[in-house]
Each structure stands twice: as C-alpha cells, then as structure tokens.
Structure 1
Amino acid sequence: MPATNRAVLTRRRALGAALGTVTAAALSPAVTAAASAASAAPPNRQIRQIRQIPLQGAVNVRDIGGYRAAGGGRVRYGQVYRADALSRLTDADLTTLENLRLRQAVDFRVPLEVRYDGADRLPAGVTGVARPVTDNGLYARILTAIASRDPVQQEEMLGGGRAAAFMRSVYPMFVTSADNRARFAATLHDIAYGGRGALLYHCTSGKDRTGWTTYVLLRLLGVSQRAAVDDYLASNTFRAAYDAKLRESLGQSGAMQDPDLLVPLQEVRTDYLTAALDQVRTDYGSLHRYVTEGLGVDRRTTALLRARLVY
C-alpha cells in the first residue's frame, strides 16, 4: 500500500477510534436521556417559555413558537422545530416525532458529520433533505484534536483563545458563502411554501447553523432582537449536561488531559453571533437586505412566512 494511502487510513482509524470513545460513553442514548432529564427544568424565565421536545437520543430539540412578534402577534407552535442530530433517536423518540406531524427534516450537516455520526432516523412519511452548510472544518478539528490524544497538540489547536477565535471564523461564512446562503434560503422557502405539516431543521449540535437559521427566521417574523438572542443562547442550557458528560468521558478515557479546551466549541456565545451580524452589516448593511438580497427572500415569501407562523 502506498505511504499516502496508509497515512489516510491511519488518520481515518484514529478519527474512528476517537469517535468510538465518544459514542460508547457520552453519546449513548442512556447518557443522553440522563442529560436531557438534567436540563428539563432550566432555571431562567426565558428558557421555561421554550417548548422543548424531550427525547432520549437528542437534547436540543425545540419548537420555535411562543415568541411575541411585532404588532402583538405570537409565533405559532407546532410549525417549525430546531434540533441537534437525529442519528441516535430511539424507537420511542420516533413515536414522539410522529406526534409532531412533521413533513420534512432538513439536515445542515456536512458529509463528514453524517459519515461519523450516522444518518438521521426519521418517522415513516417524513422527507429527509440533505442541505449541507459548511462548518469551516469545525467537526474535523474536534475529531483531529481528540484523536491525537496529545495534550500539547490539543493545546496548540484549541488553547489560548484559539478555539473561540475559530468559532468566530465560522459564523461569517453563513453570510459570505453563496452555497450556504442558498441552503438557508431553500429552508425558509420550504417553510413558507411547504404545505401541511411541520418542518424541522438541524445540524450536529443544533446550536450554530441551526441557531443562525432560527435567529434569522425569528427576526424576519418580527420577534425582538433580545428574544431572538435569548433563543440562540438557550442551547447552552439545553446542552450543558450532555456536553459536560462528553468532556468527563474524554478525560476519564485519557483522550484529553484538559477536556475543557472543548468548551468554546461546545457553547454558543454572543460574540459568535456578533461575528455573523458584523459580516451582514459589512456585506449588506442590514439584516433585512441580507434576507432580501443575500437569501433572495422576496416580499411574497416573507408575507407567507408571517401568515403561516404568526397569529
């Protein structure tokens, strides 16, 4: 076997072994269920208003409804859901999703994520749509750092503020990449024109690509900046126990000497969202122009979204 092929195979095996460590412990359905239970009663008032969908195989699944919109209306429940990966859902979870009357599930994950995490498990009759939005190599970076099992390399990759800086480099691509914009636009179009049934969109953690989509949609519906940011930041609460268990598992297995290096990659932060919004201002001047010019969402589509989702 040529040396180049051996190197590629070795790297894939290392990544697979790293993922196996994660999957066997922190990402098992039992642990996920425990983490979900631990975050089922979040502490602050804004979180309590969010309708979480309790599942055993995913922890950040929620209805975007309930928020007050401009003009005194509210965003409808039961129309749009945001989620983390659906690859580890149990049979009981599928029954729960059946009750949501979903028609479509949009997957923002890139092929590497699907390859290692697995394809979505969906109820019969739900159309799965692959609509990959780049994570700027985030998932590969996490796997590479874990697979190295080298605390010096992990510190060089993630320490000293580098992990947070990397996250701030991911978000502007939601604005600058034509492919990303096309996939966000297609999802908004599907919500507006999709007919009966609810739509769910998700990425791996349900916090970055999913968080940006939800922020844009809520603002388009007339939800206040503060409420849209609160919804974005709520991922930290819903994911806290799950992510802590992952770090604990990596530390106990010896894969990472300092698992807290992952915290900036696991969290959402206002400066990550600000990085995208700064790019919006640079490229378009306003979020409205980003939506109308960057995403190509015209007045008719906006009117349909508001008619469908606000009452």
Structure 2
Amino acid sequence: MIRDKFLPTEGIHNFRDYGGYTVSGGGRIRRGLLFRSGQHVAATDEDLAAISSLDIRTVIDLRGASERTNNPCRRGPAFEAHVIAYEGETTSSPPHMDVDPETSTAEFARRRMVAVYTRMPRNPAMIEMFGRYLRALDQRDGASLVHCFAGKDRTGVAAMLLLHVLGASRDDQMEEFLLTNHAPTLGVLRAQSVPGIEARLGRQLDEESIRALLEVHEDYLSTYVAEIEKDHGSVDSFVENALGVDEPMKERLRDRFVA
C-alpha cells in the first residue's frame, strides 16, 4: 500500500497519489486523480514522460514568487496543465528552511518546524492558496497536482484539508501526512535543501537535525490542527469560513472524488 502510492522518479521528491483512503459513510477516495509532490526543478526527461501519462490538467503550486523564480519547474513538451500560483510570497522561505543560528540540534530543528505549523493557519497567503486549491478541485476536470518546494509541509496540509472534506478519518489524514517519511527520494530533497540551510546557518547540521527538517512528525500536523481549532472551533468551521468551502461544494467534491 505504501510503495504503490509513489510514482518512481529520479529528480522529483515525494511524488505520489494521495487517494485510496476510506471515508465516513462508505466509499473510498478515487485513485489516479489526486497527486502531490515536491518541486520539479530537477525533473528528468524520464520523470516528465511518466507524469505526462497521468492526465494532470491542473497544477496548484503553493510556492511563492521568489521560490518559483529561483527554482523553475521543468515541464514536458506536451505540458498543457493550468498552473495556479500565488502572485507574491507564501512564506519567507520554504518551511523546512525557516531556520536561525540556533537550529543546530534536532530539538531546535523540530521546534522551528512546530513554529512553522503554528504560524501557517494564520498566514493570509496560505489561506488564500488552500481555498484556491479546493475550488480548483471543485471546478476543473482531470487529475490535479499540488506541490510546494519539498512537498511535505504546505502540500501536506493541503492534502489533509481535502481528505478532511472528503470524510477520511483523522488517523488516515495523519497516515497520509507521515507517508512522506517513506518517500524513496529523500536524497533529491536533501540535495536541493541542505546546502542552502547550512549556508544560512554558517555551519554543518548534524544528521538528526537534517532529518527533523526534511521529514515530518506527528506533532507538526497536530500543531496546525490545534491552532485551527483554537481560532475557529473546528477544522470544519475553518474550511467553511476561512477557505470558502460550503456544504454544496463539499458534496460536489465528494461526488467527484469518492467512489
């Protein structure tokens, strides 16, 4: 179940199908329509050929403008998908690179990541992009791809929000979030991230700190949910009032993505 979710890639981290989960009331989220990944700046020609067969018609790029400029995604020759992106910055830096000079041990690295998830529920740019992501899934046909820099933090939250709307259990939402740690392409993310992190810090990171920044942990997503509940009372209220997903839209999404 774990490995068959990942598309074999050489230059893209964490490319996978995030369907397949059962939902309350019966049914299962369809496979082959919902994909997620890290950025495609290092995608190989073979990666692009594999992606071209997936009928991805919509790409939701959760990166900010400077991330897209510094790391332009490679596209196949037949790429025609509509790309949705934020016109400004979605964060000061990719979440896993949101570090300071104290980030020298795994404990500090994890604290930095928890701080990222504490701020994300109140980030206006991310609120807008999560809403645009869900509206795109409601309005556009074909398969979709949601991605950010690493495909684990902003993308992980986006996937969780959709799974919640579709009726997947909180345990399955967490399972999908943590599945990132089983991605066979961690070396891709490491090559794209660690040199920049260490340059910002002016020192080398120990292995535990690197893994704390490049992987995900249960307390990261739990923190995000707790902050949502603190501000909005429930994830349902946040989805409806902050993201604009009303009950008719929920029903349309369930009709489309649950079999």
Alignment-mate amino acid for residue 282 of structure 1: K
Kindly indicate whether residue 165 of structure 2 is the aligned counterpart of residue 192 of structure 1: no
Alignment of structure 1 residues 141-290 onto 2, 5 Å: 141=97, 153=101, 156-159=102-105, 161-194=107-140, 196-238=141-183, 241-242=186-187, 246=191, 256-260=203-207, 261-290=209-238
Distance in 1 (CA, whole Å) between partners of 2:160 and 2:239 is 12
Distance in 1 (CA, whole Å) between partners of 2:106 and 2:45 is 43
Offset at 1:296? 1.2
The runs of 5 or more residues in structure 1 that have no matched partner are 1-45, 146-152
Contact between 1:70 and 1:223, CA under 8 Å: does it hold in 2? yes
Contact between 1:203 and 1:209, CA under 8 Å: does it hold in 2? yes
Structure 2 counterpart SS, 1:106? strand
Q: Deviations over 1:257-286 (max 9, x none)?
A: 444232211110111111111111110111
Offset at 1:243? 6.5
* Matched residue, 1:83: 37
Q: TM-score normalized by structure 1?
A: 0.73
Structure 1 counterpart SS, 2:178? helix
Q: Rg bigger for which structure?
A: 1
Distance in 2 (CA, whole Å) between partners of 1:192 and 1:78 is 16
CA RMSD of aligned residues (A): 2.7
Structure 2 counterpart SS, 1:161? helix
Distance in 2 (CA, whole Å) between partners of 1:139 and 1:282 is 22
Distance in 1 (CA, whole Å) between partners of 2:171 and 2:215 is 19
Alignment-mate amino acid for residue 101 of structure 1: D
Offset at 1:216? 1.1
Alignment-mate amino acid for residue 115 of structure 1: T
* Matched residue, 2:82: 127
Alignment-mate amino acid for residue 124 of structure 2: A
Q: 1:268 to 1:239 in 2, by over 3 A?
A: farther
Q: 1:81 to 1:241 in 2, by over 3 A?
A: closer
Contact between 1:113 and 1:139, CA under 8 Å: does it hold in 2? no
* Matched residue, 1:35: none
Give aligned pairs, total: 251
Q: Which of the residues 10, 17, 23 maps onto 1:69?
A: 23
Kindly indicate whether residue 55 of structure 2 is the aligned counterpart of residue 101 of structure 1: yes
* Matched residue, 1:4: none
Contact between 2:57 and 2:81, CA under 8 Å: does it hold in 1? yes
The runs of 5 or more residues in structure 2 that have no matched partner are none
Contact between 2:110 and 2:212, CA under 8 Å: does it hold in 1? yes
Distance in 2 (CA, whole Å) between partners of 1:243 and 1:101 is 24
Contact between 2:94 and 2:149, CA under 8 Å: does it hold in 1? no
Q: 1:140 to 1:238 in 2, by over 3 A?
A: closer
Distance in 1 (CA, whole Å) between partners of 2:53 and 2:249 is 27
Alignment-mate amino acid for residue 11 of structure 2: G
Distance in 1 (CA, whole Å) between partners of 2:121 and 2:241 is 11
Q: Deviations over 1:171-220 (max 9, x none)?
A: 133311232111101100000111x2111110111100000011111111
Kindly indicate whether residue 241 of structure 2 is the aligned counterpart of residue 308 of structure 1: no
Distance in 1 (CA, whole Å) between partners of 2:116 and 2:109 is 11
Contact between 2:13 and 2:189, CA under 8 Å: does it hold in 1? no
Q: 1:299 to 1:266 in 2, by over 3 A?
A: same
Q: Deviations over 1:136-183 (max 9, x none)?
A: 5346956x87xxxxxxx5xx3333722211111111333112321111
Contact between 1:79 and 1:199, CA under 8 Å: does it hold in 2? yes
